[in-house]
A and B are shown apart, each in its own frame.
Chain A
Amino acid sequence: MSKKLNFLESSFCKVLRPPQLNLRIIKPSSMAVFAFVLFALFIVFAGVIYDLIVEPPSIGVEYVSIFQYNGSTIVAMAGKNCVAIAGDTRFGVRNQTVALDSNRIFKINNRTLFGMTGLNTDILTLRESFKFQMNLYNLEEEREISPKTFAHNVAQTLYSKRFGPYFITPIIAGLEGEDYTPFLCATDLIGAMEFPKSFVVAGTGEESLMGVCETFYKENMEPDELFEVISQCLLAAVDRDALSGWGSVVHVLTKDGITTKRLRTRKD
């Protein structure tokens, strides 16, 4: 034994020298140990309670916009004496798809189409509200409302709820006047209108839509070509948006009438 130790000593200890630590052996009192253990336990339990109450774990997404609760996309484009408006038909609640045939584009009269994106309950409420207002208008004025007047009506309805708004983004597309000039209008949720000449986009897929519409849009398109362009734009954009899709509908409005076509989209 001593020979082995001597061997170890001679080979290792010559190279490796342990450090010179002048340690005192601490002998705490039992009260001090108790206090230390109690303190450590308190820290652990307080942390657990904090995690459960102040920042509780939850399933699903937090801090997203209320506009992503239902999810929808609508685009409208102007052509030569014609307008087209297209949207998807998915009705979902957060990540769950509930229905595939929810219609968000409505006909006001032969010259005006009106689409809304955003919270579905507000879409349905406003549809009834505008139906009521338009019926009264037709009875009182004995004529049909022009798209521009209807757009101002929508903006006024939304702004009256300035401090408790409806969560929708409306789009109005129509043909104005005797020579059927295309009219497009989009507003934000409190009624700030914009009147672009080319296209308007709204909904959860609006950012993809802006890019693809800027690329494919041309001026003075005939109705057939307008249909192709708006369909391709909508299909491309809903493919990149998880909350839209599951079917789409395209309306092309010309002075002769409305052509409605349903397209096949990805079902995911």
Chain B
Amino acid sequence: MQKGGFNFDLYQRNVELIEKNNYKVPKTTKTGTTIVGVVFSDGVVLGADTRATSGPIVADPNCEKIHKISDYIWCAGAGTAADTENTTGMISLQLELLSLSTGRSPRVRTALTLLKNFLFRYHGYISAALVLGGVDFTGPHLHMIHPHGSTSTLPYISMGSGSLAAMAVLETGYNSKMGEEDAKSLVHQAILSGILNDLGSGGNVDLCVIKHKSMEFFRNVDTTNSKRKFRKKLPYMFKSGSTKILEKEIEEKMRKMEIVNEKESQIEELEEL
């Protein structure tokens, strides 16, 4: 069947179809995003918004952008949604196998090296910008990874289209002696700033607090953006029978297709896979 890895079989056909006929390249789901990470005295707080866009349309108003690499190592991703999901999934697999074979709990630095080597091999074509944070036996760590494979280690990081808005809040509010509550509220404010000021970010706020041997995931902490204030009170009602039907066929679950009346067999059968 299929081997692992990327399959380039259709590449030539797509070049002919798109470039020679002047079609536009189709748009993939991107996470415009604001993602933020902050180190505090005991651990790391990661935050993200929840909007996934496809061009100017919101494809998913409530997606999850904080992915699990290992129990106490989590990663928030910006860029092409399929790339961030599959990259973090692949590295999470490799890290699990590595920790099982070495018999040690995984380090954040290992995940960092695996991610940057993987992304560098594809020279930026895998568009995944990541904020990797976690606590291992050496302490709390926070790293940023760019799509081309460069990394930085910093006490506070923001990435994505809303990174400028979030960084403004972080620069104002960060101090190196913060406690957990201060860090959580700072990350919350930074993501909110991205949601309000950046068009590519929106939805709710997700938070992830990682400390030594403990992890708490707060999904949809702030949902003030999700309530539709001006929804019509009485919903639209369609009476039964308001849609005109040309043909009708009922396929009941346990019966085989042969046991069918002669009248019903004239109707086209549902194409079965």
Which residue in B85, B125, B250, B272 is a CB contact (below 8 Å) of A163?
Answer: B125
| Distance of B106 from chain A, by nearest CB (Å) | 24
B125 touches A263 (CB 8 A): no
| Distance of A88 from chain B, by nearest CB (Å) | 14
A194 touches B52 (CB 8 A): yes
Chain B residues within 8 Å of A264, by CB: 244, 246
A108 touches B251 (CB 8 A): no
A226 to B172, CA, bound (A): 51
**Nearest A residue to B54 by beta-carbon distance?**
A188
Q: Could you tell me which residues of chain A, from 29 to 85, have a CB within 8 Å of some CB in chain B?
A: 62-67, 69
What is the interface size of chain B, counting residues whose CB is below 8 A from a CB of the partner? Answer: 57
A110 to B273, CA, bound (A): 11
Chain B residues within 8 Å of A231, by CB: 243
The segment from A4-12, A16-24, A210-218 that touches chain B is A210-218
A51 to B58, CA, bound (A): 40
A163 touches B271 (CB 8 A): no
A65 touches B26 (CB 8 A): yes
| Interface residue? B199 (CB, 8 A) | no
A133 to B13, CA, bound (A): 24
| Interface residue? B181 (CB, 8 A) | no
**Nearest B residue to A134 by beta-carbon distance?**
B273
Chain A residues within 8 Å of B273, by CB: 106-108, 114, 127, 130-131, 134
Which residue in A110, A166, A235 is a CB contact (below 8 Å) of B10?
Answer: A166
A162 touches B6 (CB 8 A): yes
A159 touches B243 (CB 8 A): no
- On B, residues with C-beta under 8 Å from A are 1-2, 5-14, 17-18, 22-24, 26, 28-29, 52, 54, 57, 59-60, 62-63, 80-83, 85-86, 125-126, 232, 235-236, 238-240, 242-253, 270-273
Q: Could you tell me which residues of chain A, from 105 to 141, have a CB within 8 Å of some CB in chain B?
A: 106-108, 110, 114, 127, 130-131, 133-134, 136
Known pairs A163-B125, A206-B57, A260-B251 / 7 extra A-B pairs, C-beta < 8 Å: A63-B22, A66-B17, A136-B1, A159-B86, A163-B6, A188-B59, A261-B245
| Interface residue? A100 (CB, 8 A) | no
| Distance of A177 from chain B, by nearest CB (Å) | 16
| Interface residue? A28 (CB, 8 A) | no
**Nearest A residue to B8 by beta-carbon distance?**
A164
Please indicate which of the listed interface residues B235, B244, B248, B270 has the most CB atoms of chain A within 10 Å of its own CB: B270
Which residue in B12, B81, B239 is a CB contact (below 8 Å) of A228?
Answer: B239
A256 to B254, CA, bound (A): 8
| Distance of A117 from chain B, by nearest CB (Å) | 12
Of the A-B pairs whose beta carbons lie under 8 Å apart in the complex, a sample of 25, sorted by A's number, is A66-B26, A69-B23, A107-B272, A127-B273, A136-B1, A155-B82, A160-B2, A161-B6, A162-B82, A163-B6, A165-B10, A167-B26, A190-B82, A194-B29, A207-B57, A224-B240, A251-B270, A257-B252, A258-B251, A259-B251, A260-B248, A262-B246, A262-B247, A263-B246, A264-B246
A67 to B74, CA, bound (A): 36
Chain A residues within 8 Å of B249, by CB: 259-261
A256 touches B18 (CB 8 A): no
Question: Known interface pairs A160-B2, A161-B10, A261-B245. Does A192 touch B251 (Cβ–Cβ under 8 Å)?
Answer: no
A63 to B83, CA, bound (A): 26
B245 touches A164 (CB 8 A): no
| Distance of A231 from chain B, by nearest CB (Å) | 4
A133 to B23, CA, bound (A): 32
A 143-183 to B, binary, CB cutoff 8 A, 1 in contact else 0? 00000000000010111111111110000000000000000
A66 touches B18 (CB 8 A): yes
A192 touches B80 (CB 8 A): yes
A218 to B238, CA, bound (A): 11
Which residue in A66, A161, A206 is a CB contact (below 8 Å) of B23?
Answer: A66
A225 touches B238 (CB 8 A): yes
A64 touches B24 (CB 8 A): yes
Chain B residues within 8 Å of A260, by CB: 248-251, 270
B26 touches A192 (CB 8 A): no
| Distance of A107 from chain B, by nearest CB (Å) | 5
Chain A residues within 8 Å of B247, by CB: 261-262
| Distance of B124 from chain A, by nearest CB (Å) | 12
**Nearest B residue to A118 by beta-carbon distance?**
B26
